[in-house]
């Protein structure tokens, strides 16, 4: 991706994307997936591939997760794994949805590590934009490349309603 820095210079930024779905898809859509798809744990899959993505040149890594946010203790093959994705080193942003809810919002204020004002989970910007297109998820990353390596210096995320809320 070509970006323009604060001095007006064009810079190249390599963004790695990884997408994951709940392993439960094998039960939900068995007739279409059986024998064609294999599933693994969401968290362990991302934990495995993020370092590989970095080694292959990704400056930033964004996780696209069809998964929800839960404060439940970690469990292998969990359906709602976003919290644990936010703990994986090298993940720069998470865009997720599954529960038809909005993050950041007060509904998730009690989750340890959730900063509702900044839209982060354990310091990682994360957004879940509701359902049926009712919100637009925005992740805003400020980056620096002072040492020849891109770094996120500030980050926030928000879910903007697409209409006025009374």
Is it the case that residue 158 has pLDDT exceeding 70?
yes
Q: Taking the CB of residue 8, how many other CB atoms lie within 10 A of it?
A: 6
Q: For the beta carbon of residue 132, count every other beta carbon within 10 angstroms.
A: 6
* Mean pLDDT to the nearest integer, 62-90: 96
d(CA 79, CA 41): 9
7: in domain? no
In this predicted structure, the answer to whether residue 29 has a pLDDT above a threshold of 80 is yes
Pairwise pLDDT comparison (164 vs 80), residue with the higher score: 80
Number of domains in the chain: 1
pLDDT digit string (tens) for 86-135?
999 999 999 999 999 999 999 999 999 999 999 999 999 999 999 999 99
Task: Determine the length of the chain.
Answer: 166
User: Would you say residue 155 lies in a domain?
Assistant: yes
Whether 88 is covered by a domain: the verdict is yes
Is the model's pLDDT at 164 over the cut of 80? no
Q: Does residue 35 sit within a domain?
A: yes
Which tokens is 106 given?
Answer: 């007060």
Cβ neighbours of residue 43 under 8 Å, at least 6 residues apart? 74, 78, 81, 84, 85, 88
Q: Is residue 97 part of a domain?
A: yes
Question: Locate tokens 């001095």: which residue?
Answer: 7
Residue 29 in any domain: the answer is yes
Q: Is there a domain that residue 2 lies in?
A: no
Which pLDDT score, from 0 to 100, does residue 5 have?
A: 84
Res. 166 pLDDT band, cuts 50 70 90: low
CATH of the domain at 81: 3.60.21.10
Q: Is 6 part of any domain?
A: no
pLDDT of res. 24: 96
What is this structure's pTM? 0.94
Structure confidence at residue 84 (pLDDT): 98
């Amino acid at each position: 991706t070509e970006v323009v820095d604060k001095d007006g210079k064009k810079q190249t930024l390599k963004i790695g994307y990884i997408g994951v779905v709940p392993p439960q898809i094998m039960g939900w859509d068995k007739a279409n997936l059986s024998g064609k798809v294999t599933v693994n744990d969401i968290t362990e899959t991302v934990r495995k591939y993020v370092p590989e993505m970095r080694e292959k040149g990704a400056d930033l890594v964004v996780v696209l997760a069809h998964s929800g946010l839960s404060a439940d203790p970690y469990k292998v093959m969990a359906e709602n794994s976003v919290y644990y994705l936010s703990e994986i080193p090298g993940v720069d942003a998470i865009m997720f949805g599954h529960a038809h809810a909005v993050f950041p919002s007060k509904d998730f204020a009690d989750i340890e590590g959730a900063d509702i004002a900044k839209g982060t989970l354990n310091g990682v910007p994360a957004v879940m934009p509701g359902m049926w297109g009712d919100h637009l998820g925005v992740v805003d990353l400020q980056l620096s490349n002072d040492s020849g390596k891109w770094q996120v210096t500030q980050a926030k995320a928000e879910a903007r309603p697409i209409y006025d809320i009374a």
